[in-house]
Amino acid sequence: AQKVTQAQTEISVVEKEDVTLDCVYETRDTTYYLFWYKQPPSGELVFLIRRNSFDEQNEISGRYSWNFQKSTSSFNFTITASQVVDSAVYFCALRRSGGYQKVTFGTGTKLQVIP
Amino acid sequence: DGGITQSPKYLFRKEGQNVTLSCEQNLNHDAMYWYRQDPGQGLRLIYYSQIVNDFQKGDIAEGYSVSREKKESFPLTVTSAQKNPTAFYLCASSKDRAYNQPQHFGDGTRLSIL
């Protein structure tokens, strides 16, 4: 069985602060993909990033960065200099390889950025 | 503009009534999915379809039905057998069933009981 844990249910930060959203996963597979999605108040989930289990390079995209550490089964997401537009629910997800495999989502972290 | 369109945005169901949620995509994606989202929970898979005229049950298929007669369309019917239908429903698609493909989501339908 696989599992994705986002222990932070809600986080509030003041605008321009940095914030890290934690994601810890469990799987017995060696080949899988990890994803982050953003769900703004409008409701649709927006794909942010995917990471192959064999690629532990960190990634930076503008104010967003992701830290993948296989040794701790974590795929954390950091927003630098947060903005009000970053307010949303963020989901971490895992999908195994091999045939059809469903996506396992975490329960999400609600981020509120206060102006 | 390519994307996924869900309708209606809000839907109300009476006791004993079946209701159908629409999902249309123009991304030319093979795979489509229906998820249910309840407050404080992650997304739970209801049904998925990897190709036209084929679909499989997800984790919580009881009380729901789907069809996939066209590549672009994957409607979800919430039947009267679903005793707790109040939730936010999200439709998604991906290029194919491959595990590395991200899913693209519609903006959801919020279903409530009258």
Tell me what the mean pLDDT of segment A24-48 comes to.
94
Q: Chain B interface, mutation test: which of A102, A104, A109, most B Cβ atoms within 10 Å? A: A102
pLDDT at residue A56, rounded to an integer: 83
Q: pLDDT (tens digit, 9 = 90+) per residue, A84-107?
A: 999 999 999 999 887 677 899 999
Q: Say yes or no to pLDDT of A74 above 70.
A: yes
Q: Which residues of B touch A42 (CB under 8 A)?
A: 107
Sort A75 into a burial class: Cβ within 10 Å, 0-12 / 13-18 / 19+: buried
* Whether A50 and B102 lie within 8 Å, measured CB to CB: yes
Q: What is the pLDDT of residue B40?
A: 79
Q: Which residue has the higher pLDDT, A92 or A60?
A: A92
Torsion angle (degrees, nearest 10) of CA B49, B54, B60, B65:
110
Q: What is the mean pLDDT of chain A?
A: 93
Task: Answer whether A102 sits within 8 Å of B88, measured CB to CB.
Answer: no
pLDDT of residue A81: 97
C-beta of residue A86 within 8 angstroms of C-beta of residue A21: no
pLDDT value at residue A82? 97
| Tens of each residue's pLDDT in chain B, 114 residues | 679 999 999 999 888 899 999 999 999 999 999 999 998 788 999 999 999 999 999 999 999 999 999 999 999 999 998 989 999 999 999 998 787 889 999 999 999 988
SS3 of A84, please? helix
pLDDT value at position B1? 64
Nearest-by-CA chain A residue for B36: A105
| pLDDT value for A110 | 96
Please state, in angstroms and as integers, the Cα–Cα distance from residue B55 to each residue in A88, B68, B90, following that order: 32, 7, 17
